[in-house]
Amino acid sequence: MQRIKIQAESLARSRTVRDAIRAALRSETAASLIDRAVVKTGFRRYSPTTAVLSPEIAAVAANAFFTSGSKRAAEDEVTGRLDHAAVMADLLEDLRHSRTLAALSDAITEAVLDRFPAASPREIAARASSALADDIQESLSSSDRSTPLDALAGSEVIACYVPGLDECGLAGTMTSFWTDESSALTAKPDTAFMRFLELVNVDVPEWIEAVHKYTGQRLDEDGPDDWHGERARAWRSASCGHDPSRGPLAKLPRLVQAVDACYLGFTPMIAFNADAAHVCSRDWNRPLSLKGGVVGLHDFLNGSGDPVRFEQKVTVVAKPGDMMVGEGRSCDFEEVHGFVRTSFRSKVSDGPHPSMEETSPFRPG
């Protein structure tokens, strides 16, 4: 390696050893060597390889974003849980003792000693080494363009789209029913249930017919019990959004069976695996396209439900306030149903901006 030399004129105006060391580090030779050494490291404070995250951090960060709608809130959760001190200390040690920068430290010591020959060589060397470490760290920070969300790239989180969540809270998204227990026959055609039918792309007449085939009873006809008349009137006047050009998101008999099994009612939702960095940084003015996932007939409040896996494509027009994290919480899918992460596998992409004519917040295909 070519010998490194700090020109004497770089230190000409220095009046103290400290001034001389700083002047030597500001020289073109030193600055160039430091910058080149730092660039070669490719250091990114928040790269997934540098910032090793526990699975819980991705869920906490995504939840902070959904709750606040602020990317900064998610970033704060990441930075508050990552300790880069050990990584930075190891990198600084490696750089300081690399052949090039160790030689630079020696060259600075030599140049300062030439300027102040009466000074202690050992003291100059110690000060030069410390100042060099400070400049290396500053160069690492200034050259690093990574952001806290970069650390989340590749970390999956179970995300849930819950229509109506932002407006009425989780309890307000639950379906209701006429008797002590919910079933396919007792569930009311309320706003929550119409959201469910829109999610699975089933119109009201189709649903009434499917329930009839499953139970032998019609929702839109009177029966022996007092509330049957109210039920019939409610179902006859019910309506929901529906795309007749496409089929249901899952098989109708399975959906009726799932509703019948939710004895405490349920929150309609779509749950899917998503990259935590993507959900915290994407443009939420654009629709979200999902191929595969889970129709969540699920109750986060009481721990019940009967979620249904689907493979078709669905596009939802959501906002962060209608999203929540479906893991790492009481009564989540794993705790209640034993679902693992692979149950929610999905191909997630950003859809085009919806046209002005589209009014439904979700649509199959």
- Tell me what the pLDDT averaged over the chain comes to: 90
What's the rounded Cα separation, in Å, for the pair 239 and 140?
60
User: Beta partners for 350?
Assistant: 288
What's the rounded Cα separation, in Å, for the pair 260 and 185?
8
pLDDT at 2 over 60: yes
pLDDT grade for 157, boundaries at 50, 70 and 90: very high
66 contacts 323 by C-beta, under 8 angstroms: yes
What's the rounded Cα separation, in Å, for the pair 229 and 220?
9
What's the rounded Cα separation, in Å, for the pair 234 and 178?
11
Q: Which residues contact 15 (CB under 8 A, 6 or more apart)?
A: none
- The secondary structure of 239-258 as a DSSP string is -----TTS--SS-HHHHHHH
> Which pLDDT score is estimated for 351?
81
Q: Where are the domains of the chain?
A: 8-46+82-152, 156-364
**At 316, phi and psi to the nearest 5?**
-120, 140
> Which pLDDT score is estimated for 363?
52
Is the torsion defined by CA of 144, 44, 32, 40 positive or negative?
negative
Residue 362 half-sphere exposure toward CB, CA atoms < 13 A: 28
Q: Give me the amino acid identity at 284.
A: W
> What percent of the chain is predicted at pLDDT more than 90?
72
269 contacts 276 by C-beta, under 8 angstroms: no
pLDDT grade for 357, boundaries at 50, 70 and 90: very low
> Which pLDDT score is estimated for 53?
65
> Which pLDDT score is estimated for 42?
82
What size, in residues, is the chain? 365
Cα torsion through 62, 66, 67, 73, rounded to 10: 50
Q: At what angle do helices 85-96 and 28-41 cross, to 10 degrees?
A: 130
pLDDT grade for 140, boundaries at 50, 70 and 90: confident
- Per-residue pLDDT reduced to its tens digit, 220-271: 999 899 999 999 999 999 999 989 988 999 999 999 999 999 999 999 999 9
If one counts every other C-beta atom within 10 angstroms of the C-beta of residue 11, the result is 21
- Per-residue pLDDT reduced to its tens digit, 178-226: 999 999 999 999 999 999 999 999 999 999 999 999 999 999 999 899 9
User: Beta partners for 347?
Assistant: 291
314 contacts 151 by C-beta, under 8 angstroms: no
pLDDT at 356 over 50: no
Average the pLDDT over each of 246-260, 267-281, 339-353 and give the range with the smallest value.
339-353
pLDDT at 301 over 60: yes
Please report, for residues 79, 88, 102, 136, the alpha-carbon distance to residue 43 in angstroms, rounded to integers and kept in the order given.
Answer: 17, 10, 19, 12
Mean pLDDT for the stretch of residues 5-31: 93
pLDDT at 111 over 70: yes
What's the rounded Cα separation, in Å, for the pair 303 and 323?
19
Q: Which two tokens stand for residue 208?
A: 């009434």
> What percent of the chain is predicted at pLDDT more than 70?
93
